[in-house]
């Protein structure tokens, strides 16, 4: 088992499953604009910022939109999405995820969140983890979204560790790529389980317990 001083978790698709809410909100916008959008395309938006996601969706439109129209669309999607997030509660945090994180912490690992989402703090609040992590870095604190490593580098810095001492846990190809570029080891879950650049490919969140411990 490798020693990691810090573990940096992605949020959407790793700690909780807001990915379906992103899908429903983008789908509602795309339908209104008459743009084709499906689950497979939604997978490509994992870890990608709101505006970059919108630009990818608009590639399927024949129309060219102004920046003002685009920011109105992004706002509209976020309003749908925030409406869906109000349904979330601590019941949306699985026992497996919480118990695994508790056990990692007992082994001495420091835990952080590294999310592209500007809604990350709100989501953590909804699921009862507002004060749980040693550091939270979200989309409002970064200039470049994944696959740029900024979010993870900042999270490692906030924990006080070097990238080589931290493990990144991700569900997105863009997130694994960000980890690689930042010099982190990574564990791929869900969609990212098929990503060959991840050091570990996990079928279940609890498999982290056979991957990581800390020498502290
Ligand atoms: P927001 P993560 C990412 O979260 C989502 O995977 C991605 O689909 C979303 O577009 C992005 O956050 C921005 O989210 O619109 O809430 O700012 O996976 O990095 O935790
Ligand atoms: Mg994710």
Last residue of some domain: 85, 113, 141? 85
Share of the chain above pLDDT 90, in %: 93
pLDDT of residue 214: 62
Specify the pTM: 0.94
Q: Which of 69, 85, 101 is the last residue of a domain?
A: 85
The answer to whether residues 120 and 199 belong to one domain is yes
Angstrom CA distances, 37 to 33, 42, 80, stand at 11, 8, 16
- Domain span at residue 175 reads 6-17+93-211
Residue ranges around ligand 1 (CB below 6 Å):
10-13, 22, 45-50, 53, 78, 115-119, 139, 172
The CATH number covering residue 47 comes to: 1.10.150.240
3-state secondary structure 140-192: CCCCCCCCCCHHHHHHHHHHCCCHHHEEEEECCHHHHHHHHHHCCEEEECHHH
Q: Which of 50, 178, 191 to mutate to test the pocket of ligand 1 (most atoms within 8 A of CB)?
A: 50
CB atoms within 10 A of CB 163: 21
Q: What is the pLDDT of residue 123?
A: 98
Looking at residue 167, what is its pLDDT?
Answer: 98
**Ligand 1 center from residue 46 Cα (angstroms):** 7
Is the same domain home to 101 and 76?
Answer: no
Measured in Å, residue 46 CA sits from the centre of ligand 2 at: 5
Helices (H), 8-149: 19-32, 39-43, 50-58, 67-85, 95-106, 120-126
CA dist 136 and 146 (Å) reads 16
How far apart CA 208 and CA 17 sit, in angstroms, is 18
- Domain total in the chain: 2
CATH number at residue 149: 3.40.50.1000
Phi/psi for 76 (5° steps) reads: -60, -45
Q: Of 85, 112, 139, which closes a domain?
A: 85
The tokens of 84 are what? 């869906």
Q: Which atom of ligand 1 is nearest to the CA of 140?
A: 17
pLDDT of residue 216: 47
- Whether the per-residue pLDDT at 135 is higher than 70: the answer is yes
């Amino acid at each position: 088992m490798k020693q990691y001083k810090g573990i940096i978790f992605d949020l959407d698709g790793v700690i909780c499953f807001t990915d379906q809410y992103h899908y429903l909100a983008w789908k509602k916008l795309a339908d209104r604009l008459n743009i084709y959008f499906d689950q497979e395309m939604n997978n490509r938006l994992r870890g990608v910022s709101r505006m970059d996601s919108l630009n990818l969706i608009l590639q399927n439109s024949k129309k060219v939109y102004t920046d003002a129209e685009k920011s109105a669309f992004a706002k509209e999607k976020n309003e749908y999405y925030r409406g869906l997030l109000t349904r979330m509660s601590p019941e949306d945090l699985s026992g497996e995820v919480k118990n695994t994180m508790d056990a990692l912490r007992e082994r001495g690992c420091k835990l952080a969140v590294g999310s592209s989402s500007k809604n990350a703090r709100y989501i953590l609040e909804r699921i009862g983890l507002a004060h749980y992590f040693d550091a939270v870095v979200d989309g409002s604190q970064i200039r470049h979204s994944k696959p740029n490593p900024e979010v993870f580098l900042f999270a490692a810095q906030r924990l006080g560790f070097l990238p080589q001492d931290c493990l990144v846990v991700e569900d997105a190809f863009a997130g694994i790529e960000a980890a690689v570029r930042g010099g982190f080891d990574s564990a791929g879950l869900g969609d990212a389980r098929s990503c060959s650049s991840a050091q570990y490919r996990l079928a279940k969140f609890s498999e982290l317990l056979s991957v990581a411990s800390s020498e502290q």
